[in-house]
Amino acid sequence: MAKKLLVLLKDRVFPEVLREAKRISDRLGFAVEVYCLRCGGDRVRELLEVLNSLQLTTEVKGSDRPPKEVLVEERPYLTLLPKPRLNPLAHAFKKPWSEKLAEEVDEFNLYLVEEGLDEPRRALLYADRDRSSEAYLREAYRFLSALGVEFKFVTVFDERYYELLIKKEHPEVEAKEILGRMFTDYVNAVREKVKRALGLERVELIPLKGEEGRTLPYFARTHGFDLLAVSHAVESKEEIVENSETHLLLFKN
């Protein structure tokens, strides 16, 4: 049986979400279902026109239920949601419904499609030492490989957190040496974890320093990556969702 790909739209139609659903369906053979929540007749007609232009044949369902209830009932393998592009000031005062849903649930694989972006071609797959499960790493690796995007592994070491603790007990020069060793040990531990989870002999890992919730989205945006894949268990999930300016995949841990 084909895996279910659920598209959730609410109030507005986002063609980029439907294009990505079509691409995933064609490439991976997923069965697509589309829900348009609180959509009137004009929105449904607009949605059907986009689906027809994409030659994506699927049933369109309407509902006034909360998005989470639809997820629980449908139990899809992957759910595509729009991530509207807002200016920072507007974003600070009004969080989109899709971001709220992504922050609320952790038992579903979610794909937030960034408004205005083309299909992803380069992705970052995040791994950390303590929270990323081997099951998450295997599932994300399989999905990105099957999707055909180029991707690299990345990790973030929060140096500032340890720096405050170590500098209380050690002189500055010694503290820097300790931090350097901690950084190397952390990166090696993450690399070994990924190798073990995926059965790989060699893993290229991009090591970053900084605050996870800011560093990951910023690095992705400024280094030509258009998709970021993380686990729901990532410590700074809410910040990553809010700060991301690329497509964002959230996998069950």
Task: Name the residue type at position 24.
Answer: I
pLDDT digits (tens, 9 = 90+) for 41-90: 899 999 999 999 999 989 899 888 999 999 999 999 999 999 998 877 76
DSSP labels, 80-100: EEEE----HHHHHH---HHHH
Establish whether domains 1-117 and 120-247 are of one fold.
Answer: yes
Q: Homologous superfamily of 120-247 in CATH?
A: HUPs (3.40.50.620)
pTM value is 0.93
Residue 4 tokens read as: 């279910």
- pLDDT of 180 > 90? The answer is no
| pLDDT (0 to 100) of residue 168 | 66
H-run or E-run covering 187: helix 172-198
- pLDDT of 23 > 80? The answer is yes
Task: Name the residue type at position 120.
Answer: P
pLDDT digits (tens, 9 = 90+) for 105-162: 999 999 999 999 999 999 999 999 999 999 999 999 999 999 999 999 999 998 877 7
Sorted by where each begins, the domain ranges of the chain are 1-117, 120-247
**Nearest residue to 77 (alpha-carbon basis) of 16, 11, 131, 7:** 7
The mean pLDDT of 222-249, rounded to a whole number, is 96
| pLDDT (0 to 100) of residue 120 | 95
- pLDDT of 184 > 90? The answer is yes
pLDDT digits (tens, 9 = 90+) for 196-210: 999 999 999 999 999
| pLDDT (0 to 100) of residue 123 | 98
- pLDDT of 38 > 70? The answer is yes
Q: Homologous superfamily of 1-117 in CATH?
A: HUPs (3.40.50.620)
- pLDDT of 176 > 90? The answer is no
Percent of the chain clearing pLDDT 90 (strictly above)? 79
| pLDDT (0 to 100) of residue 177 | 82
